[in-house]
Amino acid sequence: MKKTIGLFSTIWAICLALFNVIVFVTPNEAGGMTKFGGAFWVGYIFITIAFIGQLVCAFFAFKPGDKQKVFYKTPLVTISYAGLIVMLIAGTACMAIPNLPNWVGIIVCVLVLAITAIAVISATFAASVVADTDQKVKGKTIFIKSLTADAEHLMKASKTTELKSLTKKVYDAIRYSEPMSNAALVEVEKKIRNGFSDFENAIVGEDIELAAPIADELLSLIDLRNSKAKLTK
Whether the full predicted model's pTM is greater than 0.75, yes or no, is: no
Q: What is the pLDDT of residue 150?
A: 92
State the average pLDDT over residues 187-214: 92
Q: Residue 24: pLDDT above 90? A: no
| CA dist list (Å): 160 to 60, 84, 198 | 55, 66, 18
pLDDT digits (tens, 9 = 90+) for 113-137: 999 999 988 888 877 777 666 666 5
pLDDT digits (tens, 9 = 90+) for 30-44: 444 456 667 888 999
d(CA 117, CA 111): 10
pLDDT digits (tens, 9 = 90+) for 95-119: 888 788 889 989 999 999 999 999 9
Q: What is the pLDDT of residue 31?
A: 42
State the average pLDDT over residues 56-66: 75
The phi and psi torsions of 33 (rounded to 5 degrees) equal: -115, 140
Using CB atoms within 10 Å of the CB of residue 23, give its burial: 0 to 12 exposed, 13 to 18 middle, 19+ buried. Answer: middle
pLDDT digits (tens, 9 = 90+) for 71-92: 667 788 888 889 999 999 999 8
Q: 83: closest CA among 56, 126, 117? A: 117
Using CB atoms within 10 Å of the CB of residue 227, give its burial: 0 to 12 exposed, 13 to 18 middle, 19+ buried. Answer: exposed
Helices 67-96 and 102-157: crossing angle, nearest 10°? Answer: 160
d(CA 196, CA 226): 16
Least confident of 23-32, 93-102, 222-231: 23-32
More confident residue, 10 or 130: 10
- 80-94 per-residue burial string, b: 16 or more CB within 10 A, e: under 16: beebbebbbebbbbb
CB 98 within 8 A of CB 33: yes
